[in-house]
Structure 1
Amino acid sequence: MPTVLLAGASGDLGERIATALVARGATVRALTRSGASVAKTAHLESLGLQVVAADYADAPALRAAATGADVVVSALAGLRPVVLDAQTQLLTAAVSAGVPRFIPSDYSADYRRLPAGTNRNLELRREFMTRLDTAPLQATSVLVGAFADMLTGQAPLVLFGRGRVLYWHDADQPLDFTTKDDAAAFTAEAALDPTTPRFLEVAGSTVSSRDLARTMTELTGEPYKPQYAGGIGFLRTIARVGKLASRDRTALYPAWQGMQYFDTMFSGDGTLQAVDNDRYGVRHWTSAAEVLAAR
């Protein structure tokens, strides 16, 4: 089985990817920064990972960590210093070490068609794409839409107990959702597949706000209805105002960034185009309805 160098293994999605890779028999090296705590190292080792320490600014150490790997998988999360700077250093090390394949930390909606200025986090991924596409190795991005787990958490789309599901512009706009576990499992399969194309797209569910309202009505027995929250222009305006008023530009998911994600979804700019769920065989994908039912 291939050897995988995994960056970001201690993060939420990264740990799920690590677990999925180990379950499939891969040898997984978890890249940590030097000076990582004993508890963190012990936890990663308990998952069956080989822990290798290297700072991203230490090119020789990073190259040594990548040497012998068949693929580098990034699950790094952050803003420009991470998504661009650290990932570029990781990419440089992979090329220098002769690693043939690289999977960047995308796991998102399709950022390729986004208008400039409409989604800061995804535009950083698009900027890294331009660097990755000039590198002499095989790159594969995994696009999953939005994480379905957020329907019951961070994304205030379903107004529980209030009988409403928000929408902007169009209550019937298709929205792509994939759970983190499903995204991690598919990424593990892709990491072990040397024939992957440049982009792979998967979605556990593609549903609209109207569909979600119907699902909530069926689950709760209470009437849920789509609630118009404004047009795309309004959404972009409040996101822009929120960004200008924000004092903390280092937060990964401030409220205005959440508005930008809704823009990406409800405008259709980030909608997946060629879903390939069955690439590794027919399997069960956790639906948005199952996520809501488990709440």
Structure 2
Amino acid sequence: MEKTILVAGATGNLGKRICGELLKRSAEVRAIVRVNTDDEKIEALKKMGVNVIEIDLKSIEKIADACQDVDCVVSALAGLGDVIVDLQKTVLDGAIKAQVSRFIPSDFCTDYNALVPGENRNFDLRRQFRAYLDSTSIKACSIFNGAFADILKYNTPVLNLKDRSISYWGDKEEWKLDFTTMDNTAAFTAEAAMDGNAPRNLQIASFQISPKMIWDDVREATGHEFRMQKLSSLEDFAQSIKKQRADNPAGEAELYAKWQQAQYMYSMFSTQHHRLDNLRYDNISWTTEFEYINSFLK
């Protein structure tokens, strides 16, 4: 039977991909967007076949109306507390009012459940929303994808193309990091949205790769040997992040504050996915580490 899935955050990079993957699976896809959303973004969704509903996203009643007869709400919203906590609560309340049975929150990140609260601002916001979500009767499913593989292109310490270096902290040269492409994340999310038996938590990764493995792949892809370096102990890294945050209070209002990026890197070297659920759905073609790295280094 055809399922109806509503997506919040559908105009974003991930949200639009999720809509596309749902349509491939013959779902009826609705998207709720703010009034006065950019016309080009709305038209792009409509051309795909998405039913776009422009509403006041502060209105639980309007959201509930949009959620009538919906099987699952998927949140691909991105932002700080006003979005991840406040707006998601409103979307959730509207879904519950409309008696939607399932909700996928915007937990597209490293699985923060085993991490210490206070070490990552964006994870703390997701914890706050998770507590509210789990206090309701709706069935929830969080999808943890580690880091989006795109960051490997952007000269982070893990792979700095400009400096031709690969870095790590502590004794983590062979620590495997979880990376998932946006396309793989979107495909898996679409499958989970249509899976009424999806569990509370799902962990995925297109590939798990250590700094040493990145070094090997870069050498194979380019013929060049990048510099491998230890930057500091994890303890010193944690202290430097705290100092960065204290010295830059304006960053509290920035989604991608420099210290927040460092917090995320610290989390990747502090936890990893031990139980991948990649095989739960058998029609996803997972991107390999060399395939991905070679795609932008060749």
Q: Would you say the 8 A contact 1:32–1:54 is kept in 2?
A: yes
TM-score (norm 2): 0.94
Q: Would you say the 8 A contact 1:178–1:287 is kept in 2?
A: no
**How many matched pairs?**
293
Paired letter, 2:264: Y
Per the alignment, residue 253 of structure 1 pairs with: 256
Which structure 2 residues correspond to residues 100-249 of structure 1 after superposition, within 5 A? 100-153=101-154, 155-160=156-161, 162-169=163-170, 170-246=172-248, 247-249=250-252
Distance of 1:215 and 1:225 partners within structure 2: 13
Equivalent pairs: percent with the same residue? 37
The SS at the match of 1:185 is helix
Q: Measure how far apart 1:76 and its partner are.
A: 0.1
**Moved >6 Å (runs of 4+):** none
Q: Measure how far apart 1:267 and its partner are.
A: 1.9
Unpaired runs of 5+ residues, structure 1, are none
Distance of 1:82 and 1:62 partners within structure 2: 15
Paired letter, 1:258: Q
Distance of 1:283 and 1:180 partners within structure 2: 13
Deviations 1:202-245 (A, max 9, x none): 11111111111111111111123421011111211221122122
Q: Would you say the 8 A contact 2:7–2:74 is kept in 1?
A: yes
Q: Measure how far apart 1:37 and its partner are.
A: 3.6
The SS at the match of 2:103 is strand
Paired letter, 1:239: I
Q: Would you say the 8 A contact 1:158–1:166 is kept in 2?
A: yes
Distance of 2:290 and 2:169 partners within structure 1: 21
Q: Would you say the 8 A contact 1:179–1:286 is kept in 2?
A: yes
Q: Would you say the 8 A contact 2:187–2:284 is kept in 1?
A: no
TM-score (norm 1): 0.95
Let me know the Cα RMSD of the aligned residues.
Answer: 1.4
| Farther off after superposition, 145-154 or 66-75 | 145-154
Deviations 1:79-131 (A, max 9, x none): 10000000011111111100000000111111101112211111211221111
Gap change, CA 1:213 and 1:142, over 3 Å in 2 = same
Distance of 1:124 and 1:8 partners within structure 2: 17
